Structure 1
Amino acid sequence: MSTIHRTHIAMTDRLTERTTDFLSALARLKEALAQPESSFLRDATIQRFEFTYELAWKAIKLWLESKDITALNAKETLQGAVQQGLIQDGNSWSELHRMRNLTSHTYDEAQAIRVYNFVRTEGVTLFDEVAQEMRSWIKA
């Protein structure tokens, strides 16, 4: 087996693993959102949002790399995904990215409520749209 073939198999395996992890995280995020809202649940949901977002952009990054497109960070990855047609609404994903960045800073309850509401009303839909395409990556 050639080195190039082994490298391709390794990349495919990593993409499958990362995609499966993202899909699992998305299911757990939806599970949290299905519960009655409380401050505890809101915090748990935001944490699940954080790792769902991280897994999403890292899976997309691997997908871009499989197409010989290099992206160094989440912002470049999302731009590449828009250019490749994987993400249809780049502005909404920019807002998703901004919400993720807000969670990295000192806790502020008003901000947490804003992030939670965004995730509940828009974020999950954005993840679902990308997840639909990603499922084909692990079936191929």
Structure 2
Amino acid sequence: MNRSSLRLAQLTSALTRFEEVLAQPKNSFMRDSAIQRFEFTADLAWKVLQSVLEEKFGVRANAPKTAARLAHENGLVADLPSWLTMIDDRNLTSHSYDEEIAEKIYVQLPRYAALAHTLVEALK
């Protein structure tokens, strides 16, 4: 199994767990759980892009936004603005915990799950 296939399998598993928590009634525990699952799903999503870009297109991307832009240029990602916003929100979650930011990001999580789901389906 090559690196992109392994990472795609990991992303698929992470996305399943992410979608499971999003289906639960919201409370602070579920919100925080969903944000944590978003973090590792977003990390795996950009790493899948990184691997696919290198293996299929011979293009190197060493940062999430670079990977998203190159994936868009190579037809792997259609909605680049949403990907860039998702990456920005992922970065916000890792630097400090703030209730207001958590709430702002939580409402976007279904959209981010859909982006990851679209990527998984496109690469299968």
**Inter-partner Cα distance in structure 1 for 2:123 and 2:10:** 11
Alignment equivalent of 1:37, drawn from 15, 26, 43: 26
Q: Deviations over 1:50-80 (max 9, x none)?
A: 0000011001100000121111111111111
Q: Secondary structure at the match of 2:123?
A: helix
Q: TM-score, normalised by structure 2?
A: 0.95
Alignment equivalent of 1:48, drawn from 24, 28, 37: 37
**Structure index of larger Rg:** 1
How much does 1:14 deviate?
Answer: 1.4
Tell me how large the CA RMSD over aligned residues is. 0.9
Percent identical: 39
Q: Deviations over 1:10-38 (max 9, x none)?
A: xx521111100000000000000011001
Structure 1 regions of 5+ residues with no counterpart?
A: 1-11, 136-140
Q: TM-score, normalised by structure 1?
A: 0.85
Runs of 4+ in 1 over 2 A off after TM superposition: none
The correspondence of residues 93-112 of structure 1 with structure 2, limited to 5 A, is 93-112=83-102
Structure 2 regions of 5+ residues with no counterpart?
A: none
The correspondence of residues 1-140 of structure 1 with structure 2, limited to 5 A, is 13-66=2-55, 67-120=57-110, 122-135=111-124
